[in-house]
A and B are shown apart, each in its own frame.
Chain A
Amino acid sequence: MDFFSSMNISSSALTAERTRMNLISSNLANAGSTRTSEGGPYKRKDAVFSATPLESGFKRALNSAVGQQTRQVEVTEIVEDQNPPRMQYDPGHPDANAQGYVAMPNVNVVEEMADMISASRSYEANVTAVQAAKSMALKTLEIGK
């Protein structure tokens, strides 16, 4: 029985999607933050996903072709969106420049909402995969009952 690798793969995806969801929340929460500890307005953050082999070294060498082809997912990097800040005319704002423009975060709320739905759906798909593996493993234990 090799259902545990199936569950490990899916749970790696759950972790990755949750990380992505945290970043989306952070982007949405800070859609109006004009001050950060690094200075300047908040910059949109995004997770970089990479497919990595499940096991490394000796165990992988022992695996069959299937084992070598399965990939879990990992968040390898969190990058800041380098797009320029959105300039908004608001002369009364304390962070307004001499021309009356305020540098606002480069967060597009609509884009974030779409991303959030996508992350949430992916999370659900992986939960279903975990449930399938679990029910298959339990079904196997029924043989000979």
Chain B
Amino acid sequence: MPVNGIFGTTIDVLGKSIDLRTKSQNLISSNIANAETPNYIPKSLDFEQELQSAVKSGSKGTPAITHPRHLPLRGSGAGLQSVTGQVVETPAKTPGNDGNAVELENEMGKLLENQIMFNASVQMLSKKFSDLSVAIKGGN
């Protein structure tokens, strides 16, 4: 379909990345909020590997997976749409007396990184659309 040619996979990947970064933000907020709750184990969303392999396998012309029983046609990577990320628990190396494993400095770092990566994705997506608009208008 020519529409696929215009909107390529870049927009899909960026959209998915924004979606996953939003979810990641929720988990990081949850960790920071519970930085003093006894026995709380921080969680994080692990999706970079999964997203990368989905991007590699999902080249042009790969049929979309629209049903859970569909088999991916290329390699082992699942379709981009099915990337949801894994919620993993990250216990501290040296837990405190109250069993709380949140390292606030670490979480603030992750918060910042997530925010910057999110902004990068949004900026690229925005640029992609404005470039398309330039092409449509013939450079005007």
Contact = CB atoms under 8 A, between A and B. Distances in A.
B45 A140 contact: no
A9 interface: yes
Contacts of B85: 66
Nearest to A48: B38
Interface residues of A, number: 40
B25 A132 contact: yes
Interface in B97-118: 104, 107-108, 111-112, 114-115, 118
Given A69-B30, A136-B115, A142 B36 contact: no
A140 B33 contact: no
B129 to A, nearest CB: 6
A58 B114 CA distance: 29
B125 A143 contact: yes
B62 interface: no
B84 interface: yes
B34 A2 contact: no
Interface of B: 18, 21-23, 25-30, 32-38, 40, 43, 45, 84-85, 87, 104, 107-108, 111-112, 114-115, 118-119, 122, 125-126, 129
